[in-house]
Each structure stands twice: as structure tokens, then as C-alpha cells.
Amino acid sequence: MIDLVGINKYYNTGDEVFHVLKDVNLHISAGEMVAIMGPSGSGKSTLINLIGFIDKKFEGQYLFEGESLVTSDDDKLSKIRNSTVGFIFQNFSLIENNTVYENVELPLLYGGYKRSETGELVEAALKKVGLEGKGEKYPKQLSGGQQQRVAIARSLIMKPKFIIADEPTGALDTRTSEEILTLFKSLNDDEGVTLIVVTHDPEVVPYCHRLIKIRDGAIESDEEVIII
């Protein structure tokens, strides 16, 4: 599904050029659950911004399902992003003044749905993450784990081809992290949701099929996770 071929990325910081991704070659298949780990500053965010169609300034080829979708037209690229990839962040990134329902509904409205058409889809997504009946609550009225579930429902609502989760357990305690990882695992096992999880948390790794380690902008290792 995702093919990065000979990717190099540079940041131009005025008088210096910083080589941040170095000849990255990476293939991710549909249905995989992949962990990406690496020290702070190693280039993980840069890499997922590129995979998630946020960053279009790089050298090399990004083929998605065999096609180059990256276009210089920002509007077109953000539409591709909205229908292709779901994002989950450490701090949940929910809109505080919107209800749970409205937060989950938002990508649908952006994707051209009318308000009158969203009900069943939002309810189904909330059910999938175990938040049935919580649509009228506001994020602040929920626990951290529940807020992350709202973000997961929002990321699923457009039936994206894949989901990028950036430190999804970073703000959660151990037990809640395990619950969220179990939810990811069941979405992956039961519904075939493709997941790319960037993390510092080694607890995430056993839930994944594969671990990619990044160091200094290059892939240091890319191995199957073997659970003994």
C-alpha cells in the first residue's frame, strides 16, 4: 500500500541545510500494524508527516497503492488526506467546545456529508470504540482514555486506508494504555485497519507485527515482532 523509494528530506534553516531523512526505503502493506521507534529528533515526525500527506517537499518517490498522490495543489492534497488517512495524537487534539458527537462528525462534514447524513455513521464509530451513548458529552467530561477513544472514532469515521497514531499512549497511565492498545489490536485483527504507531513506549511493540527503528534520519532496523 505505502511505498517509499529513495526518500531524502532536507530542512533549510536559513544558512544551513539539514539532511533529516536519509535514503529511506519502506514498504507497508494493507492490514499491517507497525511500530516506529527512535530517539527524539531522529526524524519520526518528519517521516509520518510525509506518509500522511502533510509534507509534500521531499526527494524520492512516495507511491500509494502504486500511484503518486502527492500533488502541489494544497486543497487537493488535503482532500486526499481526509479520505485516506486518520490521525491520532498524544494529546487527543479534540475540539473542547464541541461535543463528542461533533468531534467525530467533523471529517464527514469536511468530506461533503450533510449534517442530516452523519447520525448512523457517528453512532457506529462511537460504538466501535466503546463510547455508545456518550455523544452529547464534552471532551472535558471524559477521562483521558475515553478522550483518546473519541479521537480513534474520529480517525475511523472516513474509513481511511490507514491510521497514523503519534504517541497515542504518551498521556495515558499503564492500564489505560493497555486498553487503547487492545482496541487498536482488535481494530487491526477484526476490521483490517492498517496502523502506523509512532512511540517511545516499548509496551506498544508486542501489539505490532513489525518494528521499524529510526536513527539520525535513516532506518536502522526493520524487523518482524516475534512474541515469545
Ligand X SMILES: Nc1ncnc2c1ncn2[C@@H]1O[C@H](COP(=O)(O)OP(=O)(O)OP(=O)(O)O)[C@@H](O)[C@H]1O
User: Which stretches of the chain bind ligand X, using CB under 6 A?
Assistant: 11, 13, 18, 20, 38, 40-46
CB 90 to ligand X: min, Å: 10
| Residue number, 3 or 216, with CB nearest to ligand X | 216
| Residue number, 183 or 214, with CB nearest to ligand X | 214
Cell numbers of 163, please? Answer: 491510521
Query: Can you tell me the distance from the alpha carbon of 176 to that of 112, in angstroms, rounded to the nearest whole number?
Result: 34
| Residue number, 2 or 20, with CB nearest to ligand X | 20
| Residue number, 11 or 110, with CB nearest to ligand X | 11
CB 141 to ligand X: min, Å: 30
CB 133 to ligand X: min, Å: 36
SS3 state of residue 66: coil
CB 113 to ligand X: min, Å: 33
**Is 167 in contact with 91 (CB distance < 8 Å)?**
no
Cell numbers of 139, please? Answer: 471532551
CB 13 to ligand X: min, Å: 5
Q: Output Rg (C-alpha) for the chain, integer angstroms.
A: 18
Cell numbers of 110, please? Answer: 469536511
> Within a 10 A sphere around the Cβ of 182, how many other Cβ atoms?
11
CA 225 to chain centre: 20
| Residue number, 42 or 177, with CB nearest to ligand X | 42
| Residue number, 38 or 107, with CB nearest to ligand X | 38
**Is 212 in contact with 37 (CB distance < 8 Å)?**
yes
With CA atoms as reference, report the closest residue to 20 among 8, 30, 28, 5: 8
Axis-axis angle for helices 100-110, 119-128 (nearest 10): 120
CB 21 to ligand X: min, Å: 8
Cell numbers of 185, please? Answer: 489490536
